[in-house]
Amino acid sequence: MKDQKPAYRIGHGFDVHGFEAGDSIMLGGIKIPHTQGFQAHSDGDVLLHSVCDALLGAIAEGDIGRHFPDTDPAYAGIASTRLLVEVYQRVVEAGYRVSNLDVTVIAQSPKLSAYIQAMRESLAAMLDSGLDQINIKATTTEELGYIGREEGIAVHSVVILAAA
């Protein structure tokens, strides 16, 4: 098996960003009005960061911080859509494509149901995938913990890659 490329690879990603002053957040490549913004070196799109980590994990290429360190001024304020496109190019170069992606956003606020479809469409376009391959769901923590106190948002992502 050492010399044989696996037919499938799985990756898991997790990211969290706290809030700071602002009037909107970027989530899944979509600008969403909110009473706060994200604390981040980039645009703070916690959903795309989680997906990047899942993709990088699936191809055994570390995590987003390894490739785009928050200590590098070149990434200050960068659109996370650019990061995801670059990460996905690495996936393609490794000989894989997305089989399916499942994302869970954990947020007390803002309410996300009105934005889920647009986020799915955004991800499908960036990952050269069909909508039936991309799932995004949102949940709260029932007002428990830092998310329940509306201090930030966390996201888990799981991806299965198939050999191209």
Q: What is the pLDDT of residues 9-18, one digit of tens each?
A: 999 999 999 9
Amino acid letter for position 81 = T
Burial of 68 (0-12, 13-18, 19+ CB in 10 A): buried
Q: Name the token pair of 39.
A: 């604390």
Q: pTM (2 decimals)?
A: 0.95
Beta bridge partners of 158: 12, 102
CA atoms within 13 A on the CB side of 101: 33
Q: Is-contact 80 42, C-beta < 8 A?
A: yes
Residue 25 pLDDT greater than 70, yes or no: yes
**Per-residue pLDDT averaged across 141-152, rounded?**
95
Average pLDDT over residues 1-21: 91
pLDDT band with cut points at 50, 70 and 90 for residue 3:
confident
Query: Is the model's pLDDT at 1 over the cut of 60?
Result: no
pLDDT digits (tens, 9 = 90+) for 26-76: 999 999 999 999 999 899 999 999 999 999 999 999 999 999 998 999 888
What's the mean pLDDT in 2-27? 94
Q: Look-up: residue for tokens 């993709």?
A: 55
Q: Are 53 and 66 in contact (CB under 8 A)?
A: no
Residues 6 or more apart whose Cβ sits within 8 Å of residue 104: 137, 138, 139, 155, 156, 157
What is the pLDDT averaged over residues 136-148? 96
Tokens matching residue 133: 């391959």
pLDDT band at 77 (very low <50, low <70, confident <90, very high): confident
